[in-house]
Structure 1
Amino acid sequence: IARAIIAMGHQLGMTVIANGVESQAQLGFLRRNDCDVFQGYLFGEPMSADAAGMTLRRRYLRPEAFAETRPDRTLLLLDDEENVLRSLVRLFRRDGYRILAAGNVRDAFDLLAINDVQVILSDQRMSDMSGTEFLGRVKMLYPDTIRLVLSGYTDLNTVTDAINRGAIYRFLTKPWNDDELRKHIHQAFRTYEEQRRSNAGPAPVESGEGGEDRPAR
């Protein structure tokens, strides 16, 4: 709904203002969808007119509200079993990725909202939502992400259907082989980067001497 309202406002040539922004997750989602102005508890609690005037004169806003990092390779891990999650973090740490770990779906969505995530690895069987359902929702919000699910053989039909719908890029079986799992994640990042290059299109050309075209430098 928020994305539709922002897009509609911009199509009408209007400035879109989001009121009631209370968390980094909300701010991150709105920024990624090109909302223009934000206000709410994240930037300042209710205050008197005098206090508001002083804040404006000092030109002060909470700096953490605008902090944003964009590492090249960020991996989000989702599993509601703490031991499994720790094992996955240890496994991928050696590959130099920036690793975000979530023990539930809500935390995973919050992390997605405030971070640029390229690859997501989710468990299939979780208490609050299945991995395929979670990744299906992620596809609608963050379609450029590469989404993988860890699944037991008993979930094969469900996961296959999710692949056919484009919700997930690949499913990986439990128990996993460490080396193979690392290779799959590495390939997922490669796939993401190839898609970005493809979407960027060919390099522009500029006209050279004699009317010939040459690649731009």
Structure 2
Amino acid sequence: MGTKPNTILLVDDDSLVANPLARLLRTKGYDVSICPDPKAALVICKKRTFDLIITDQHMPVMYGTEFAQQAKKLQPAARIILISSYSDFEQVINAFNMVAIDQQVLKPWDNSNLLKVVDEQLQLSFEMSWQEQRAKHDGDTKSLSANTLLRAG
């Protein structure tokens, strides 16, 4: 039985960017969902869990940094990559400081470098998820031990 592929939400209003990027990511075996509208993407984030979210900075409804801040509240374990240009520097720095953005990729990007960043962020997502599960398990075990001691006493 195989492992579940990593899930990626790609939020970009430009299909000429989103579709080729999704194809590239799918060649690596990732489960990629595309959403052109950041508001609709937030609704999706309420219904489905993603390991990684990739968002463009410039979209008509809201900036990628604003979307990332809201998405991080809905999906705190998801890693977020922002695709932007050099001109977005101040907004990106603010988003980094608010812990909404985990990595930035500048346009135009090199596919091999982008895939490396995606792999790194997915590895971090996996490690964080594993640590959270371990902490929860350890907490459950301690609670169970405390309850057992209370009943025995």
The reply on whether 1:94 has 2:39 as its aligned counterpart is no
Q: Which residue of 1 aligns with 2:116?
A: 183
Q: Secondary structure at the match of 1:155?
A: helix
Moved over 4 A (4+): 202-205
Matched ranges for 1:51-70 at <5 A? none
Q: Distance between the aligned counterparts of 2:38 and 2:98, measured in 1?
A: 21
Could you report, residue by residue, the CA deviation over 1:61-117 in whole angstroms, capped at 9, with x for unpaired residues? xxxxxxxxxx45100001111111111111111110101000111221232222221
1:139 is aligned to 72
Q: Would you say the 8 A contact 2:49–2:75 is kept in 1?
A: no
On the 8 A contact 1:150/1:172 being kept in 2, the answer is: yes
1:26-65 matches, within 5 Å, as none
Give the structure-2-normalised TM-score. Answer: 0.82
| Aligned-partner Cα distance in 2 for 1:157–1:78 | 21
**Pair 1:83-2:12 in alignment:** no
SS at match of 1:75: strand
SS in 2 for 1:196: helix
1:108 is aligned, of 36, 41, 46, to 41
CA distance in 1, matches of 2:80, 2:39: 17
State the match for 1:57 in structure 2: none
Unaligned segments of structure 1, at least 5 residues: 1-70, 206-217
Q: Distance in 1 between matches of 2:47 and 2:70?
A: 17
| Cα-Cα RMSD | 1.6
Match of 2:56 among 117, 120, 123: 123
Q: Is the Cα–Cα contact under 8 Å of residues 45 and 74 in structure 2 kept in the other structure?
A: no
2 CA distance for matches of 1:182 and 1:72? 15
- CA distance in 1 between counterparts of 2:5 and 2:49 reads 8
C-alpha separation between the residues in 2 aligned to 1:97 and 1:125? 24
| Residue from 80, 105, 108 that aligns with 1:172 | 105
In structure 2, stretches of 5+ residues that fail to align are: 142-153
1:94 partner letter = T
**Larger radius of gyration between Structure 1 and Structure 2:** 1
* Partner residue in 1 for 2:126: 193
Counterpart AA for 1:102: C
1:201 CA displacement: 2.9
